Amino acid sequence: KWDKTVAYPKLSIKYGNEEPTFFQEETEKITEKYKSVNAFYKLDVFNGGHDYKKWNEEFAKSLIELFND
């Protein structure tokens, strides 16, 4: 059980809707833990799967968002 008095690091997860099921399940588990302690997380699901070109594109978008905030 996570401790609500702990300041957990902010979390950003992005994955493709065609990723293997186990990856999606593990992501759901960790985001549920973040929810349970009201910690900040951001979850984005993009169209695609385990494709390095798509990952590079999405990673670049994430960096732009991060530095524009």
5: in domain: no
4: in domain: no
2: in domain: no
Q: Is the pLDDT of residue 25 over 80?
A: yes
Retrieve residue 20's tokens.
Answer: 């293997």
List, in sequence order, every residue forming a beta bridge with 46; answer none if it has no partner. Answer: 16
State whether residue 20 is helix, strand or coil: coil
| CA–CA gap between residue 5 and residue 62 (Å, rounded) | 29
Check if the beta carbon of residue 42 is closer than 8 Å to that of residue 13: yes
Tell me the percentage of the chain whose pLDDT exceeds 90.
70
1: in domain: no
| Residue 20 half-sphere exposure toward CB, CA atoms < 13 A | 3
> Model confidence over 30-58: pLDDT tens digits?
999 999 999 999 999 999 888 889 889 98
16: in domain: yes
Tally of structural domains, the chain: 1
25: in domain: yes
Q: Which domain holds residue 32?
A: 11-68
